[in-house]
Structure 1
Amino acid sequence: MYIPDLDDMLATHARIRPHINRTPVFSSRMLDEMSGAQLFFKCENLQKAGAFKARGASNAVFGLTDAQAARGVATHSSGNHGTCLSYAAGRRGIPCTVVMPRTAPQAKKDAVIGYGGRVVECEPSTSSREAVFAEVVAETGQEFVHPYNDHRVIAGQGTCSKELLEQVEGLDAVIAPIGGGGMVSGTCLTLSNLAPKVEIYAAEPEQADDAYRSFKAGHIIADDAPETVADGLKVPLKELTWHFVSTCVTDILTASEQEIVDAMKLIWKRMKLVMEPSSAVPLATILKNPDVFAGKRVGVVITGGNVDLDRLPWMNT
């Protein structure tokens, strides 16, 4: 297992800079007052392809040799990683296949196709996803780019926190959503090297809290098919992300489905930022745990904005 280091992250940032946005950092006086903290929102919903995963995907694609690239790339994804891998593959002019749950938002399937990728559907469980994906790779011979358990991807996600440190001085903590742990691992990689005193928090839905339970138990606990409105956070930790989570994360906090939806609505209303439910989990946990963040300068990663506008979560609440 290759564990990416600071040099990998710095080389990655140089490689992917032409293919990503240096996303802005926004703040809200009202949300500061509600939370009792100073919140700095790193807006990866304004990233290329609408999500932070453009960073890791671009690093994986543009780091391939010409021979590897000619075969194309493949992955399994609930949406954003597949979209971003299709985006990066399109930039390099190579094929991309994405295995997606049939229940994934149609907007995310359409985005993969819009960037030139091919969608192959599977059942909404980790076991089905991995079985269908194995068939795709056997058929195509394409290079597997794992959504998060990949050193190239984690190095790419680490560039987000590098930018955040350059944009905001004196951070006390950074919090990001956690599913498989790619963004949190990248955050750990960067902050442990460049700002080791900054606390790292992960935020997770109560109904898909396998990372929280893993963190408390000291070993990986994987759920096969959890149900949550935060569709991007349904996947389990893997060995590489567990390495970072278990060694660098201060704590993992959870929020209920209603708390996630309320936080999402709050950011839409007050900050005018379109974000998906997964991105609202950090704010939900901050508001739920005011004592943890009181008086602190907190970086909050808004991980993506690829929401299905025809199926907004509060339409059914």
Structure 2
Amino acid sequence: METIEDQALTFAGIETAGEIVARELGTTPLVGHPLLDRFAGTEILVKHEHVLPTGSFKVRGGVYLAARLTDDERATGLVTCSTGNHAQSVAYAARIARCHATVVMPSSAPQVKRDAVAALGATVVSHGDCLGDAAAHARSLATGPGAPSYVDTTDPRIVLGHATAYLELFRQAPGLDAVFVPIGSGTGAVGACLVRDVLAPACRVIGVQSAAAPAAWRSWRSGAVETAPSATRASGLATSSGYPATLPHLRAGLQDFVLVSDDAIDAAARLLASHAHTLAEGAGAAALAGLLATDARPGRVAVMCTGGNASADEIARLAAA
């Protein structure tokens, strides 16, 4: 029987995941928006991942996870932690696989995301003020005989599923000069780098993170797993530590990694709403914010709109501008 360790992070593994994900999910649009091009002074293609079920690219990881669950995992159920979109992904996986999922979410997680996880049939447990607190509690629930199996944010099956977004992207748009990718745990950016290396080696992959939650950025710069306060309003970027599983791939694959303010993320979300007919959550707008913060802008660029699960507070800030 295939084990988790057999799920190697290779291009061949991503192609296999792509075949499985495509049976459940349609290809997401890659669209140019002339008003956005005019504002930014460069050609921008927006990958609209927010149109997927659960409103986020992370459902791709859930679909592939469901196809690769072990018999034990199906029997005992799953437990994970998340501020929202990974939570919905695992809940979606459990629904497909017809097993139970428990999701531990910190108090900072938006209510709309908690409600969405519960609506998919998972049990939502609120614990702690930050993702680190929630993660520790989720791991404690996965101990002992008959306990549910812990699904890490960087589980190889999750990463391979996330990478299918970039398999689509580089097949849709050969000849890209750069792609901007939001980074929380870094799973999407790892997928971008792995696919880029095979399909578009000349394309630059540039990571973007909130300056109010810079743990992954600090880790990328130092080469060691770093921690940092997480005070960002963008829940999808609200990580307080780098991730050992993704850090080596980010160090090897990213050409640059930029920090942007939460206000810059809000401004990018307003631009997506007004210039690209798109309601994005903070993490979904971060890639555009990263592009706009870059002085030397590449000629033909893709930005990943990774999620559209905007909270009531985010929508209110858009309306107040």
TM-score (norm 1): 0.93
Q: After the TM superposition, which residues 208-219 of structure 1 pair with which residues of structure 2 at under 5 Å, given as runs?
A: 208-219=213-224
Aligned equivalents of 2:125 and 2:65: distance in 1? 21
- Give the match for residue 227 of structure 1: 231
- SS of aligned partner of 1:304: coil
Correspondence 1:1-317 to 2 at 5 A: 3-138=8-143, 141-147=147-153, 149-223=154-228, 225-235=229-239, 236-291=241-296, 293-294=297-298, 296-309=299-312, 312=315, 314=317
Q: Is the 8 A contact 2:139 2:150 kept in 1?
A: no
- Asked if the contact 2:80–2:135 (Cα under 8 Å) also holds between the matched residues in 1, the reply is no
* Residue pair 1:188, 1:249 contacting (<8 A) in 2 also: yes
Helix, strand or coil at the partner of 1:174:
strand
In 2, the alpha carbon distance for the partners of 1:36 and 1:310 equals 30
CA RMSD of aligned residues (A): 1.8
In the TM superposition, residue 316 of structure 1 has moved relative to its aligned partner by 7.6
Unaligned 5+ segments in structure 2 are none
Secondary structure of 1:285 counterpart:
helix
Instruction: Give the secondary structure class of the aligned counterpart of 2:125.
Output: strand
- 1:142-174: CA deviation from partner (whole Å, max 9, x where unpaired): 222212x22111111111011011211311111
**Shift, 1:106, TM fit:** 0.6
Letter in 1 for 2:282: P
The count of corresponding residues between Structure 1 and Structure 2 is 313
Is the 2:11–2:195 Cα contact (8 Å) retained in structure 1? yes
Assess, with a 3 A threshold, how the Cα gap between structure 1 residues 311 and 257 changes in structure 2: closer, same or farther. closer
Task: Return the alpha-carbon distance in structure 2 between the equivalents of residues 175 and 51 of structure 1.
Answer: 16
- Indicate the structure whose relative CO is greater, using CA pairs within 8 Å and at least 6 residues apart: 1
How much has 1:310 moved relative to structure 2? 5.6
Identical aligned residues as a percent:
29
- 3-state DSSP of counterpart to 1:208: coil
Q: 1:80 to 1:67 in 2, by over 3 A?
A: same
User: In 1, Cα distance between the equivalents of 2:205 and 2:65?
Assistant: 25
Summarize the Cα distance change of 1:243–1:23 in structure 2 as closer, same or farther, 3 Å threshold.
Answer: same
The one-letter code matched in structure 2 to 1:162 is: L
1:3 and 1:24 map into 2 onto residues whose CA distance is 28
Contact 1:20-1:54 within 8 A present in 2 as well: no
Q: Secondary structure at the match of 2:225?
A: coil
Deviations 1:211-266 (A, max 9, x none): 2222222322122x411111111213211110110100000011112111111011
Q: Which stretch of the first structure deviates more once superposed, 121-130 or 158-167?
A: 121-130
**Cα separation, 1, equivalents of 2:130 and 2:19:** 36
8 Å CA contact 1:176–1:184 kept in 2: the answer is yes
Contact 2:42 2:300 in 1 (8 A): yes
CA distance 1:114–1:126, shift in 2 (3 Å) = closer
Instruction: Tell me the TM-score normalised to structure 2 length.
Output: 0.92
